[in-house]
Amino acid sequence: MEVRKTNLSIFNFKMKKFIKRGVLFLIITGIVSLIVGFLSVFVSKKTFEYKIKEKKNILIVGNSHTECSVNDSIISNSVNLSQSASSYFYSYMKIREFTKYNPQIDTVIISFSDNDLFSQKEKWFSSSQKINNKMTRHIILFNKDDYLDLFKSNPLEVSFQTFILYSDFYNLHMQKRDFIGSYNKINVNKIDEAIIEFNLSPPIVDEEIAITELKYLQKIYEFTQESNIKLILLNTPIHPILEKHFSVIKARNLEIVSEKMPNATYFDHTSFVLENSMYADLSHLNNKGSNKYSEFLQSIFNK
């Protein structure tokens, strides 16, 4: 008796062929991209200039506040590696890696603005958008623990980025150290628009703390303590209306510093006097403002 085999499969032969070839193609592409990625990281790590000039003993890291405020060409013994929207996670890696290659670094300045610990800054570490923008850019600074920490926060995005580790290879080689951070000279002054916008919708003062940001700030503190490096938490100048608005949070931030980072130096320069023309917006200085402020900082460090 002939037994007819029933086809229970939902897909026909052509579709199965399509799936097989598609999967094969994706596997090959995945393997190739991983190989290219790891090779490019290997080459970048070998060729990257971690070494900075011997006379530069001050390392400046942080987000756009230090990026736009501190002109490292005026403070001649410093190098500014700040970058906008940088989580303390990336600043920590920069400090760790650059001090390893540059034993002359005895001072680290890190941005510590009134709003840097707002809970919304948690996204700077774990949001897909930020990981997309920052991970491959800083990949040469990562070690295994850094990678795992980031992976735990957003497995899908980190997995995807792992397949495109090569994506910033060209930029890193063209822009060198500037690609992971530098002083940002801003020529514009949009203070009037910023004041109008502030009056329409003032930024929320968030009393909740970004746990991961604080964790990495403390790691920075611990690392600098262990390495005998002076840590300066820098609250850069902001416009008086914003300073007044954020003033309610200052006491809390100060408490955090004194409790968790007792040996760190805290510079609060939010009320540093500047003309309106020296701001880019309410919380960032333009080149005129940064030059004036950097000269002031230079005078402090050269005392």
Partner 1 sequence: MLFNTLEYFLFLPITFFLYWAIKESRYQNIFILISSYIFYGWWDWRFLFLIFLSTFVDYFVAIRIEENHKQKRKKIYLLISIIFNLSILGFFKYYNFFVDSWIELLSKIGYQVTDVWTLKIILPVGISFYTFQTMSYSLDVYRSEIKATKDFISFASFVSFFPQLVAGPIERASNLLPQILNKRKFDYKQSVNGLKLILWGLFKKVVIADSLSLLVTPIFENYTSLNGGELLLGLIYFSFQIYCDFSGYSDIAIGTAKMFGIELRSNFIFPYFSRDISEFWRRWHVSLSSWFRDYIYIPLGGSKKGKWITIRNIFIIFIISGFWHGDNFTFITWGLIHALLYLAIAVSNKNRRYTTAIVAANRMTPSIKEIFQISITFFTVMISWVFFRSNTIIDSFLYLQKMMINFSIPISYRSGLVYIFFFIVSDWLNRKDERNPLNISSVYVRWTTYILMLLLIFGHGGQKNEFIYFQF
Where do contacts with partner 1 occur on this chain (CB under 8 A)? 10-12, 14-15, 17-18, 25, 28-29, 32-33, 36, 128, 132-133, 136, 156-157, 160, 163-164, 166-168
Output the smallest distance, CB 284 to partner 1, in A: 18
User: What 8-state DSSP symbol labels residue 77?
Assistant: T
Residue 262 phi/psi, 5° resolution? -60, -25
Residue 79 phi/psi, 5° resolution? -135, 130
28 vs 254, which CB is nearer to partner 1? 28
Output the smallest distance, CB 212 to partner 1, in A: 22
Nearest-angstrom CA–CA distance, 105 and 55: 9
112 vs 125, which CB is nearer to partner 1? 125
Distances (CA, A) of 172 to 67, 71, 176, 181: 18, 22, 5, 11
| 278 close to 57: Cβ distance less than 8 angstroms | no
Nearest-angstrom CA–CA distance, 111 and 117: 11
| 156 close to 119: Cβ distance less than 8 angstroms | no
HSE (side-chain half, CA atoms, 13 Å) at 35 = 6
Output the smallest distance, CB 216 to partner 1, in A: 23
Output the smallest distance, CB 32 to partner 1, in A: 6
Residue 6 phi/psi, 5° resolution? -85, 130
Output the smallest distance, CB 164 to partner 1, in A: 4
116 vs 157, which CB is nearer to partner 1? 157
78 vs 136, which CB is nearer to partner 1? 136
| 231 close to 110: Cβ distance less than 8 angstroms | yes
| 207 close to 238: Cβ distance less than 8 angstroms | no
18 vs 101, which CB is nearer to partner 1? 18
Output the smallest distance, CB 33 to partner 1, in A: 6
Distance of CA 199 to the CA centre of its chain: 29
69 vs 161, which CB is nearer to partner 1? 161
Nearest-angstrom CA–CA distance, 40 and 289: 39
160 vs 267, which CB is nearer to partner 1? 160
Output the smallest distance, CB 7 to partner 1, in A: 12
Nearest-angstrom CA–CA distance, 114 and 121: 12
